[in-house]
Structure 1
Amino acid sequence: MLEKLMAEDAEAGRPLLAALCVGRLRHDLPAPGFFMTSEALGRFAGAPERPVARDFHARELAQVFDFYRQFHSG
């Protein structure tokens, strides 16, 4: 389900809303599948356990908040 949402977001040029799905056991990072799907969509290159993944996630999360904030700013 999240993979489908990610594909739809990527196709529409939106930030990946699935970035909101993080796990406490993963230290507030998404599961490895998020990074693998992001890579398949051409949005990320690297290993899910590397610092580059944390950086990518932080950027994607900021973009999600910025993008969706416009709908609540009136």
Structure 2
Amino acid sequence: MPDQVADAIVRLEEHNLRVDEQFAASQNELVQATQEAVKVTRVTAQAQTDLLKVMDRMAGRAASAAAPHQQR
């Protein structure tokens, strides 16, 4: 194999390794961002659940307060 061809193959393989490393790093960043998004979604869902519980209690109190007025 001529030296020029061998050198070209080595350079191509080195380039491919750098590209693979960059791709792996970007995939890792994507996984981390996705995990953070999942955490935020869970916190948001819990806050919405808590809010619904409070609203249910408020609705129950409002219904209880209105009940004596409706019986008259």
Q: TM-score, normalised by structure 1?
A: 0.32
Higher normalized helix content (fraction of residues):
2
